[in-house]
Amino acid sequence: MRVQVAIIGSGPAGLLLGQLLTNAGIDNVILDRVGKDYILGRVRAGVLEDGTVRLLDEAGASARLHAEGLQHGGFSLAFDGRNHRIDLAGMTGKKVTVYGQTEVTRDLMQERERSGAKTIYEADNVNVHDFGSTSPYTTYEHGGKTRRIDCDFIAGCDGFHGVSRRSVPESAISTYERAYPFGWLGVLAEVPPVANELIYANHARGFALCSMRSMTRSRYYVQCPLDDKVEAWSDERFWDELRRRLPLENAEAVTPGPSFEKSIAPLRSFVAEPMRFGGLFLAGDAAHIVPPTGAKGLNLAASDVHYLFEGLHEYYADRSMAGLDAYSQRALQRVWKAVRFSWSMTMMMHRFPDTGAFGQKIQEAELDYLVHSRAAATALAENYVGLPF
């Protein structure tokens, strides 16, 4: 098989890039090592920046998002027993849309199927070859046979553990990482959310987040030790702990119920540089990871896709390499700003092992300054709704 662009990974980044390319008449194929049902079974965050929504519009995969997504013009920072609302719309003129990543993935899959573009699931032993030359190609095993796809370019959208970044020689890549000494215990339940907007809570017992997928499905998190076991957290224990970390008005509004998904996720900040290696381009989690505190993971993947698609479209329309040559620098400038924001939110909202009484007072002073300074609150709002791309 020969295509213009081979895409490794059928998560949101790979599917979004594939649909934009297909709509522009650029032939592409997507490979993934797992099946469609497995991909749709993964539960991820779902706070979408305005720029991400615009890209989904461009891809033709946003009808259900606009019908079912929840537009939020603000969120609350909870500390010292009170809520302090950050007015996103008033300070930036923009809102965010709450819409689950699983639903974004489903919409993109359906649009790809409607367009007739090819996706190969359960492709074993996917490998990328000769991406330093003008004739890159990928190989994979399917149906008991080894198969080859020749292409002009390879887009590595296969996540943190994927083959794309691992195929780059160590001497050609630099990585930067910060692992955080705690995790997030997350619960998904068919109960109404505690509030109409998200609540980020800083508490002496640890961080908590009240989020939602709809007005009948809630997503909640509490900070927990990395060595905690999910089995040790009954639903009753979780709801009790969540209430302890929220202001009284929110604690009383919590509607407990049986969880249908419960997991503990570690937190890390990670960036790989550069994001281009000849004909191989990294995008999304293959190149960077952010803690979920700032809701940037999926949105960063979307901005990577924006820059990469622009470069590929320019190449096939005008035979110019300018956009592709600039891809890594353009993407990384935005990546590092989002990494900084997610890191700062994580540092401000969580209890670290060495926080102590002094550190807690500093956090409280920072939060108090932030909510009482319009300049500081505006900077927070600008980053939360998403820097332009």
Give the catalytic positions in this structure. Answer: 72, 200, 292, 296, 384
Cα separations in angstroms, 53 against 288, 301, 317: 21, 13, 25
Question: What is the rounded CA–CA span in Å between residue 217 and residue 204?
Answer: 27
Question: What is the rounded CA–CA span in Å between residue 327 and residue 199?
Answer: 35
SS3 label, residue 120: strand
- Supply 118's token pair: 């090819």
Question: What is the rounded CA–CA span in Å between residue 87 and residue 81?
Answer: 19
Strands 124-129 vs 137-142: parallel, antiparallel or unpaired = antiparallel
- Supply 56's token pair: 């989904």
Neighbours of 323 (CB within 10 A): 18
Phi and psi, residue 199, nearest 5°: -125, 125
- Supply 156's token pair: 């590595």
Nearest to 383 by CA among 183, 102, 184, 86: 86
Question: What is the rounded CA–CA span in Å between residue 164 and residue 272?
Answer: 12
Question: What is the rounded CA–CA span in Å between residue 126 and residue 128?
Answer: 7
Q: What is the secondary structure of 127-149 as a DSSP string?
A: EEE-TTSSS-EEEEEETTEEEEE
To 5 degrees, how large is the angle CA 74–CA 77–CA 78?
A: 135
- Supply 163's token pair: 């083959």
Nearest to 244 by CA among 234, 230, 254: 254
Nearest to 194 by CA among 174, 217, 173: 217
Q: What is the secondary structure of 286-319 as a DSSP string?
A: GTEE--GGGS-HHHHHHHHHHHHHHHHHHHHHH-
